[in-house]
Structure 1
Amino acid sequence: MDSVTVKELVDAVGLTVYSGDKHLEDRKIATDDISRPGLELTGYFDYYPQERVQLFGMTEISYAHKMDPEERLEVMDKLCGENTPCFVVSRYLSIPVEMEKAAEKHGIPILRSKLPTTRLSAKMTDYLGGRLAERKSLHGVLVDIYSLGVLITGDSGVGKSETALDLIKRGHRLIADDRVEVYQQDEQTLVGEAPEILRHMLEIRGVGIIDVMNLFGAGAVRSKTDISLIIHLENWDKDKKFDRLGNGEQKVRIFDVEIPKITIPVKVGRNLAIIIEAAAMNFRAKTMGYDATKAFEDNLNALIQKNSVN
């Protein structure tokens, strides 16, 4: 997405509109960077990032109140750039009259929040980062298994949605079916969510579209989750060798993030939901420092050494 409106930011972050409510839809935000205009209040505008949300905390507001009224009005007028989306004031701090006048003159909304400046900045950055990030649409099913985001991929008709339904019945949660919208939140985090039109929906061949939240309750769905593991379902081929010990590490790069991948062969009679659940639990155990494959190899080496001594 190229931009979001100030109105969308207000609704998402829970901001209070102090003034300029008629400009909320007109003003656009095109970057997730937040500016705290401390230097600008001193009159230094050489590198003023006017296209950013301008956040005023205790430091900026207290300094502004100590300025001469004429100087304060001049600086506030300069802060109102053509592309400046809005002013945001934290902690419900008192807003200088000159800021109100300049903002009204240039049609810039002034927003307030009771949150401390650092928390407010982080909250706005997280929201804008998610909305403005580059997105990619992947074919698959995204489920939350014990708070672990698992993306199930595979050819059409291999049984991804049916497996997801079984996982939901076992107490896990659906994020997206068929099409997963993916974006990179930071250097190590990939987030997946459902397109709005497909949210909470699951397609089962022979049954049609079902509403998971309506059938199983609000606890059976999530709006989004970090993707930690990819499980690829592949039709069983007796001529193909699949990993039996779990030491053949695979990775898939999506944007700049590498996600571990496990390939599971599909065959009549295999309970894929239980297998995927076990794979997710085993992956979590590995991230916590326990590797069953390594434990097996250590036991095997110890047995070989013991027999060779005898």
Structure 2
Amino acid sequence: MAVKRFTVLDLIDIDLKEHNSLNLHCIGGRKGLSREVNIPDLNRPGLALSGFYDSFAYQRIQIFGRGEVAYLKKLAEEGKIDTIKRMFTYPIPCCIFTHNLNPGRDFFEEAEGAQCPILQTDLPTSEFSSRIMRILSNIFAPQKSIHGVLVEVYGLGILILGDSGVGKSETALELIERGHRLVADDVVDIRCVNGNILMGAGANKIIGHHMEIRGLGIINITHLFGVGAIRDKKQIQLVVRLEEWDSEKIYDRLGTEEKFEEILGVSVPKLEIPVKPGRNIPVIIETAAMNERLKKMGYNSAKEFNQNILKWIESDTARSVYFGQEDII
């Protein structure tokens, strides 16, 4: 789950649209664009500029807003640039100025000498900070690849797992035929975002939304069923594990036993569905999706059924039936 090398240049080159765009461009220190960003967090260096460098978070991206720029201007006017020089003795990844603000000449010179990139954006500080934190959180999120199929059924992201040849792709194909959507087939890349959200996507965008059906070959879901039958990524909210029917295994028939699959430290509700001729697995998965949605709304069919049985047992009717049978015996 190692994070790939991510540089300041990669940050500038990220292709983001509309409300996710960072609008970044480099205005100085270009020789340092190959510096790595290793921590998905930000720092406002107000205390450092005032001379307090204890616990200075130099490993983070440094954000300069209106307050910091006003203080830089004051330092330049008073000729107190020692704190600026000291700042650039640390291996800072880069400095980003919001509101299209510009640092003073002294700051530029020190940054150039230290080969520290200076970036600029027209976004307000708060808006830019929220956008870049979302991006960094996604980039540095723990990730792994799993052999399986990810589909969206009634708005619920369902990861279908099972041994090779058990029918994962065929089940997903039938679900697509019934109006649901494919996210990824064969290999699913999973990222843990914000510590508790699992986002799944296809491992390869070029061959994404293709499926391998034994006896048929590779098919393009987009061309066959249209763009409404696919989506690029989806949160994983339920795991369905398909397995060959085992006559000696006792399967849960009431649904009161809750099982979970742990992926990247996050527990996801799991169902184990046995496969044998005559079982309509796609319909079972559709029902499971609707049942899971009901659970999230606070309604659990299995628990309610169990409670109703207990109430019936404790009722006068149940006792009269019991004692009536005793009398007959």
The alignment's TM-score, normalised by the length of structure 1, stands at: 0.88
Aligned counterpart in structure 2 of residue 283 of structure 1, from 292, 298, 303: 292
Aligned to 1:40: 48
**1:150-174 deviation per Cα after TM superposition (whole angstroms, max 9, x unaligned):** 1110010111111122222333222
**1:33-88 deviation per Cα after TM superposition (whole angstroms, max 9, x unaligned):** 21221211111223223222111223323333333346564434433356322212
Q: Is the 1:64–1:72 Cα contact (8 Å) retained in structure 2?
A: no
Q: Which moved more, 1:7-16 or 1:40-49?
A: 7-16
The CA RMSD measured in Å over matched residues stands at 2.5
Change (3 A) 1:198 1:51: farther
**1:218-264 deviation per Cα after TM superposition (whole angstroms, max 9, x unaligned):** 33333322222111011112222211111111112223211111111
Aligned counterpart in structure 2 of residue 213 of structure 1, from 214, 222, 236: 222
Matches of 1:234 and 1:29, distance apart in 2? 43
Change (3 A) 1:38 1:199: farther
Change (3 A) 1:298 1:31: same
Q: For the pair shown, which has the larger CA radius of gyration, 1 or 2? A: 2
Matches of 2:63 and 2:28, distance apart in 1? 16
Counterpart amino acid of residue 307 in structure 1: T
Aligned to 2:318: 308
Matches of 2:63 and 2:230, distance apart in 1? 35
Q: Which moved more, 1:9-18 or 1:27-36?
A: 9-18
Change (3 A) 1:234 1:122: same
Count the aligned residue pairs. 310
> Structure 1 vs Structure 2: percent identity of aligned residues?
41
Aligned to 1:146: 154
TM alignment of 1:265-276, pairs within 5 A: 265-276=274-285
Counterpart amino acid of residue 240 in structure 1: K
Q: Is the 1:73–1:102 Cα contact (8 Å) retained in structure 2?
A: no
Deviation at 1:24, TM superposition (A): 7.3
Change (3 A) 1:307 1:158: same
In structure 1, list runs of 5 or more residues that go unmatched. none
TM alignment of 1:78-97, pairs within 5 A: 78-81=86-89, 83-97=91-105
TM alignment of 1:130-279, pairs within 5 A: 130-196=138-204, 198-279=207-288
SS at 2:215's partner residue?
Answer: coil
Aligned to 1:4: 6
Change (3 A) 1:65 1:123: same
Change (3 A) 1:104 1:169: farther
The alignment's TM-score, normalised by the length of structure 2, stands at: 0.84
Q: Which moved more, 1:134-143 or 1:15-24?
A: 15-24
Change (3 A) 1:182 1:70: farther
Change (3 A) 1:23 1:132: farther
Q: Is the 1:250–1:262 Cα contact (8 Å) retained in structure 2?
A: yes
SS at 2:236's partner residue?
Answer: strand
Counterpart amino acid of residue 96 in structure 2: V
Matches of 1:274 and 1:23, distance apart in 2? 59
In structure 2, list runs of 5 or more residues that go unmatched. 321-329
Deviation at 1:281, TM superposition (A): 1.6
Q: Is the 1:141–1:161 Cα contact (8 Å) retained in structure 2?
A: yes
Matches of 1:172 and 1:108, distance apart in 2? 49
**1:270-299 deviation per Cα after TM superposition (whole angstroms, max 9, x unaligned):** 222221121112112101101111222233
Q: Is the 1:9–1:124 Cα contact (8 Å) retained in structure 2?
A: no
Matches of 2:185 and 2:58, distance apart in 1? 40
